[in-house]
């Protein structure tokens, strides 16, 4: 638009300032926040937006609003109009970039590439938009299937000291690094991953974490290198909640070495055909981790395990564990139990450490931990039963008995039963046994317990449920219904009653029960209605089924059940989804 005409138009609008203020209420950084919804997009900075005059702000707000609504062709026209109307606006670099985005999102990628090039050619110092243009050029090429060209753009972005700080650069540089790894240039890729891990630690946490994990895996597993990893951790501020630390401080920190130990465990998995890789891996890391924090049992046990995986010397591993145990408290029964578990199948060592225990001084929890270790780690049921016999059941709290009993169900039922029977609260013991029998669907032993507990207020509700379910498992549906009817947990019990009626072949009663749910429980109406349709479907009552599904569509249109009903009708070959069924024909 000619400058004279623009000025005259502006004069008219200024005379109508009250109208303008109504037309552009969002012409502020605060107002624009509501429109910043499209992910991965670049917006005019708040500082630049605040410098626009009222007319520019209104026009740009309108274009951005349309763009955010996904109407990219209409938005393109608005951005082009802005360029003609305000050719000297400070927002021009942004608007030119936005034209490219409109073309890009409209799948006109080649045209978009030319538009992005304009940003770089004419506004290379407008970093926020030029860097984004370079990123989008790579993205467009990637989407065109030209991976090699995409990498050239992203490599250019990574090399530029300003562009590579842009938030979009993180994804581009990670993609560039991934491509280098894929083409066998892992060492070159690490520089890029390192860059992202450090530069985007606070501005793009997800990209930074991804890059750091790739570098970690490389320096831990692919090409073990503790000094490089320590340098990365220092520069990327991985430890101490992001506080600045030096490599020397990390070297003196147990937290660093323990984290490294965890990474070795994380990446130290090898196949049967990778014996040499495994040996080299653990030889390197055992050497790096040894000699640190000798008083830390978990750490030293792990390092001893790494050394065993490196050299296969079981005798040396046993000696290391013995020496580590000797460094700590000799009368710590928790440590002794732990060592028994560590030695596992080495029965002489297990017996040696078992002999260190003084059961009279052990807590019930320590003996319970011993029982678990003997079953799980040592695999010696006889020794576990012997340890069980050391429990002082008269003084052991019911809560600890219940926890151990539930563990023992799968190991030794008789021991678990004995624990339940020894509880101070006999009814609690019966309830624990009921839980077991219910889980086993053992009605013979479970029903008598349930009948007794129904008379105990504390357990009555759960006992009713367990009895009804045991009867249902036994296919005694009529009896189960009578018990479900005594339960005061509606509509949960009503669903089960309907299910029992259906299993008995009493479709009308099942439907009637579901209709009751629909009528009296507002939150479950749609669910009950579609369950009615499925009852008819399983009963092969097609006409009623179709009518029930249609009813769901009519009464509950904005629910997931409505969507489900629509899908079911389509699968049944019903071509006219609307309406009901009358005399077997569609209305």
Question: pLDDT tens digits, residue range 92-107?
Answer: 999 999 999 999 999 9
Please check the confidence at residue 29 and state whether its pLDDT lies above 60.
no
Instruction: Check residue 21 and give its pLDDT.
Output: 27
Mean pLDDT computed over 30-58: 74
32-46, 75-89, 93-107, 537-551: segment of lowest average pLDDT = 32-46
Mean pLDDT computed over 199-223: 94
Residue 409 backbone class (left: φ over 0; alpha: ψ -120 to 50; beta: rest): alpha
List the alpha helices (DSSP H) in 29-126: 29-32, 46-51, 54-68, 72-85, 92-105, 109-122
Between the CA of residue 156 and those of 124, 168, 177, what are the distances in Å?
13, 13, 13
Please check the confidence at residue 26 and state whether its pLDDT lies above 60.
no
CA–chain centroid gap for 30, Å, is 33
Please check the confidence at residue 33 and state whether its pLDDT lies above 60.
no
Please check the confidence at residue 20 and state whether its pLDDT lies above 60.
no
What proportion of the chain, given as a percentage, has pLDDT over 90?
Answer: 87
Band (79; pLDDT cuts 50, 70, 90)? very high
Instruction: Check residue 489 and give its pLDDT.
Output: 95
- Dihedral of CA atoms 482, 483, 484, 487 in degrees, nearest 10, equals 120
Please check the confidence at residue 12 and state whether its pLDDT lies above 70.
no
Mean pLDDT computed over 260-284: 96
Instruction: Check residue 39 and give its pLDDT.
Output: 58
Q: Hey, how many other C-beta atoms are within 10 angstroms of the C-beta on 502?
A: 21
Q: Hey, how many other C-beta atoms are within 10 angstroms of the C-beta on 123?
A: 18
Please check the confidence at residue 305 and state whether its pLDDT lies above 60.
yes
CB 60 within 8 A of CB 35: no
Distance CA 353, CA 377 (A): 14
pLDDT digits (tens, 9 = 90+) for 537-574: 999 999 999 999 999 999 999 999 999 999 999 999 98
- The class of domain 24-166 in CATH terms is mainly alpha
Mean pLDDT computed over 417-425: 96
Distance CA 167, CA 173 (A): 11
pTM score, two decimals? 0.74
Per-domain boundaries in the chain: 24-166
Mention every residue, 6+ apart, whose C-beta is less than 8 A from residue 271.
none
Instruction: Check residue 578 and give its pLDDT.
Output: 58
pLDDT digits (tens, 9 = 90+) for 334-379: 999 999 999 998 999 999 999 999 999 999 999 999 999 999 999 9
Burial of 11 (0-12, 13-18, 19+ CB in 10 A): exposed
Distance CA 150, CA 142 (A): 5
The mean pLDDT of the chain is 90
47-51, 313-317, 523-527: segment of lowest average pLDDT = 47-51
Please check the confidence at residue 17 and state whether its pLDDT lies above 60.
no
Q: Hey, how many other C-beta atoms are within 10 angstroms of the C-beta on 407?
A: 18
Q: Hey, how many other C-beta atoms are within 10 angstroms of the C-beta on 17?
A: 10
pLDDT digits (tens, 9 = 90+) for 434-483: 999 999 999 999 999 999 999 999 999 999 999 999 999 999 999 999 99
Band (121; pLDDT cuts 50, 70, 90)? very high
Band (237; pLDDT cuts 50, 70, 90)? very high
Please check the confidence at residue 581 and state whether its pLDDT lies above 70.
no
CA angle 414, 418, 424 (to 5 degrees): 160
Please check the confidence at residue 62 and state whether its pLDDT lies above 50.
yes
pLDDT digits (tens, 9 = 90+) for 533-546: 999 999 999 999 99
Instruction: Check residue 203 and give its pLDDT.
Output: 87
């Amino acid at each position: 638009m000619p400058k004279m005409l623009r000025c005259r138009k502006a004069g008219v609008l200024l005379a109508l300032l009250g109208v303008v203020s109504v037309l552009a209420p969002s012409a502020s950084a605060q107002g624009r926040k509501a429109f910043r919804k499209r992910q991965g997009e670049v917006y005019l900075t708040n500082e630049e937006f605040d410098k626009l005059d009222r007319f520019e702000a209104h026009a740009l707000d309108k274009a951005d609003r349309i763009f955010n609504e996904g109407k990219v062709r209409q938005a393109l026209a608005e951005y082009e109009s802005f360029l003609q109307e305000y050719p000297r606006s400070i927002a021009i670099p942004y608007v030119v970039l936005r034209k490219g985005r409109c073309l890009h999102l409209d799948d006109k990628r080649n045209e978009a590439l030319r538009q992005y090039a304009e940003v770089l050619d004419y506004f290379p110092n407008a970093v926020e938009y030029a860097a984004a243009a370079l990123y989008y050029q790579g993205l467009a090429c990637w989407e065109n299937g030209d991976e090699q060209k995409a990498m050239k753009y992203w490599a250019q972005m990574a090399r530029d000291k300003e562009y590579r700080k842009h938030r979009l650069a993180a994804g581009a540089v990670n993609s560039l690094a991934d491509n280098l790894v894929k083409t066998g240039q892992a060492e070159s890729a690490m520089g890029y991953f390192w860059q992202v891990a450090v530069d985007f630690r606070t501005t793009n946490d997800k990209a930074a974490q991804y890059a750091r994990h790739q570098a970690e895996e490389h320096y831990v597993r692919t090409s073990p290198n503790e000094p490089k990893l320590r340098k990365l951790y220092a520069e990327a501020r991985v430890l101490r909640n992001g506080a600045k630390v030096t490599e020397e401080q990390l070297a003196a920190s147990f937290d660093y070495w323990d984290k490294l130990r965890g990474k070795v465990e994380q990446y130290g998995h090898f196949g049967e055909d990778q014996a040499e890789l495994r040996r080299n891996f653990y030889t390197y890391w055992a050497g790096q981790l040894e000699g640190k924090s000798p008083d830390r049992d978990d750490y030293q046990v792990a390092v001893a395990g790494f050394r065993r995986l490196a050299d296969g010397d079981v005798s040396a591993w046993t000696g290391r564990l013995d020496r580590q145990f000797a460094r700590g408290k000799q009368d710590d029964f928790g440590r002794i139990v732990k060592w028994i578990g560590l030695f596992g199948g080495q029965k002489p060592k297990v017996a040696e450490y078992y002999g260190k225990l003084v059961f009279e001084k052990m807590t019930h929890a320590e003996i319970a931990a011993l029982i678990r270790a003997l079953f799980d780690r040592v695999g010696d049921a006889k020794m576990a039963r012997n340890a069980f016999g050391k429990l002082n059941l008269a003084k052991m709290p019911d809560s600890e008995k219940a926890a151990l009993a539930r563990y023992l169900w799968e190991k030794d039922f008789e021991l678990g039963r004995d624990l339940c029977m020894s509880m101070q609260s006999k009814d609690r013991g019966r309830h624990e046994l009921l839980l077991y029998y219910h889980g086993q669907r053992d009605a013979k032993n479970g029903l008598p317990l349930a009948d007794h507990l129904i008379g105990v207020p504390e357990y009555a509700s759960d006992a009713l449920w367990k009895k009804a379910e045991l009867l249902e498992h036994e296919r005694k549906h009529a009896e189960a219904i009578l018990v479900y009817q005594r339960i005061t947990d509606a509509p949960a019990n009503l669903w089960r009653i309907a299910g029992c009626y259906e299993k008995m072949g009493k479709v009308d009663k099942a439907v009637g029960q579901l209709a009751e749910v629909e009528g009296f429980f507002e939150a479950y109406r749609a669910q009950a209605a579609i369950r009615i349709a499925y009852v008819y479907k399983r009963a092969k009552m097609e006409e009623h089924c179709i009518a029930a599904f249609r009813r769901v569509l009519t009464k509950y249109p904005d629910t997931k059940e409505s969507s489900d009903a629509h899908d079911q009708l389509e699968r049944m070959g019903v071509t006219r989804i609307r309406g009901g069924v009358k005399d077997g024909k569609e209305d």
